[in-house]
Each structure stands twice: as structure tokens, then as C-alpha cells.
Amino acid sequence: MVNPASLQRAYAGKRVLITGGLGFIGSTLAIALIRLGAEVTVIDSLIPEYGGNLQNLAGYADLIRVNISDVRDTYGISWLVQDQDILFNLAGQTSHLDSMTDPLVDLDINSRSQLTILEACRHHNPAIRIVFASTRQIYGKPNYLPVDEYHPIVPVDVNGINKLSGEMYHLLYAQVYGMRICALRLTNTYGPRMRVKDSRQTFLGIWIRQLLDNQPITIYGDGSQLRDFNYVDDVVDAFLLAAVTEDSWGQAFNLGDDQPISLVELSNLLIKLNGGGCAHKVDFPPERKAIDIGNYYANFTRFQSLTGWQPCTELEQGLARTLDYYRQHRHHYWDAVAQPMPYADPHPAK
């Protein structure tokens, strides 16, 4: 579906910046870009509660420029966006619960920093192409399924509101200043390099950890909630296509999958692939129930029509690869006490 030769032509030699580039999707995208011949710089704050992990670039660290910094650092961002051809803007606070307990941090990262990034690009690099990682969370509880881009937007948590502002700033800067910017509204993305230490990035992360730790998978509610899932390589293809599709500027597009699955079915599939394990259902904690969105799956035909993109990886195949990855690398994701730092210790023990 995605033509590797045309992507190679589009990206070879291009200077590409990725915010959140040590995170799950950002790092997978960085590696894909290196393979396409791009010059890649990643920005990541390595905040322990977020998705950044140096292990995510293992084997590629020498080929990628890693800049440890926070998107809230306005001056740094103003410098880093200069002379770049493309910005994949993926840095974000992803935890819905954390956005309710610490709403101002969520605002500063998901909303305020987006405005400073856009201002930096407008002033220092207005020709840059930008693809922003938005989220299905902005829709809130679906009125109908599958959810298309015309669905009403009623976020059910602070994270959804701030991600919406972040997306709207991007589309506004395309509209008012003619900048080359589009947004992808991601659904549940999964695969190697996702955060599995806890449920801050996705519930599927903690499920995988629970399974590999021989603990029961925890399902909130009756497990009948439907969700759609995209494998990370498919999402990376979507980002790569979006940045080189001129007709995308100024618009937001759903990603998604047309084969939704219930949480119970998903847990059964994981247990089967793992060759063992169990799940237990617990009542929704009230703070989670208050911001739950019920059933969700996306209509992604607008992006499909424009770019030819569609998810290619079967859920069973993607989950199997994911389990394999964490069986092999678990000590980098939850067993290890601390991450190795990228720089030599300036004060080594003698």
C-alpha cells in the first residue's frame, strides 16, 4: 500500500525533527526515517512518567541526533526547529488520569508548548512541514460508530481539551499563515517500544506487563467496550505519508481500524498468544469511570482516500510481535531500576 520507493525519494537527505522522539511512536518513526535516508534529530524530555526510553533507539543511537530537552523550553525549541525540512510533533502528556490530577502540567505540555513550537516555526522556519499527533480522545463519548471527523467534539477529560487546543493551533496556523501542517487523530496504537510499565500511555501496556509477570490482566467494567487498534508500523507509515501529501495541509484525519474488538476478546487473544495467563474484571474506579468514553472505533476513510493508507498488520500478528519484544527486552522497560544515560559520567568513580 505504502510505496517504499516513493517514500525513499521523498525522505532521502531530508532533515527531520521529531518531538517525543525517544517515545513509542517517535522512536519507531525515527528508525524508519533513518532507513529512508533522512537526517534525524529527536527531542525528548525523558520525564520518567512519560514514554521516552533510550532503549527505544538501541542499535540506531549513532545514526540519530538525540537532544534531551523539554518542549516547554521555548528557547531551545526556537533553535532546534531551524533548518529542518519536516517536524513530526509527537511530544505529549498521554495519561488521562494524570491530566485530571495535574491539569496544569497537561496544559503546559499539550497546549501551551504546541503554541510555542508553532510560533518558533512561524518566525524561524515557516516553510517547515509539520504533522501533529492528535488523538481520538478529543471526540469524547461517541454518539455514533465508527467515528468520523465530523463527529461532535466533546472531550471528557482535561487531556482531551488540551490536545484539542494543540490540534486547533496547528490547523489555525495552516489556515491563517499558509503553513504546511496537518494532524492525525490516533486511536489506540500498540507495538514494540510502547510504555508497559503502567497504564499511563495505554491500558494495553500494563496488560502486557501483567501477562509477562504472570499476573492477571485487569479489566475495568464488564470488558464489553469496543476499541480499534493500530500497529505502530502502520501508524508510522501514516505519518510518513501525511508529511509528503500536499492536500493534507490544514486538515485533521482519523487513523483507526475497521475491525474493532472488545476488551474481553482482546484479553483472550493475548492470553492465547502468550500460551497462558488470566484476566479478572474489577469495578471501574470512580475517577476512571468519570472519564471513560465507552465504545470507540474510527472511520479512517478520509485519510485512506487521500493517501491510500490502511492498516496492514493483523492484530494477532502485531500482538505476537509485541509480546516477543517485551519477553526479550523487559529489563529495559520495567525490570531495570534506572535507564542508562546517553552521556559519559563526568565524575566517574575511581
Asked if 190 and 261 count as a contact pair (C-beta separation under 8 A), the reply is no
Cell of 144: 455514533
Query: Based on CB atoms, which residue is closest to a second copy, 106 or 257?
Result: 106
Q: Give backbone dihedrals phi and psi of 257, rounded to 5 degrees, phi first.
A: -145, 145
Q: Determine the Cα–Cα distance for residues 161 and 96; give it in Å rounded to an integer.
A: 11
Least Cβ distance, residue 120 to a second copy (angstroms): 12
> Which of residues 35, 72, 73, 103 is near a second copy by CB under 8 A?
103
Residues 145-184 that bind a second copy (CB under 8 A): 150, 152-153, 155-158, 161-162, 164-165, 168-169, 172, 175-176
Judged by CB under 8 A, which stretch of 96-104, 127-135, 276-284, 335-343 contacts a second copy? Answer: 96-104
Query: Based on CB atoms, which residue is closest to a second copy, 85 or 149?
Result: 149
Query: Based on CB atoms, which residue is closest to a second copy, 153 or 264?
Result: 153
Asked if 18 and 43 count as a contact pair (C-beta separation under 8 A), the reply is yes
* Secondary structure element (H or E) that encloses residue 180, with its range: strand 180-186
Q: Check whether the bond before 126 is cis (ω within 30° of 0).
A: no
Query: Based on CB atoms, which residue is closest to a second copy, 27 or 116?
Result: 116
Q: Which of 180, 71, 66 is nearest to 122 (CA)?
A: 180
Q: Determine the Cα–Cα distance for residues 181 and 75; give it in Å rounded to an integer.
A: 22
Size, binding site for a second copy by CB under 8 A: 28
> Which of residues 127, 290, 336, 341 is near a second copy by CB under 8 A?
290
Half-sphere exposure of 170 (CA within 13 A, CB side): 34
Q: Is there binding between residue 107 and a second copy (CB under 8 A)?
A: yes
Residues that bind a second copy (CB under 8 A): 100, 103-104, 107-108, 111-112, 115-116, 119, 150, 152-153, 155-158, 161-162, 164-165, 168-169, 172, 175-176, 290-291
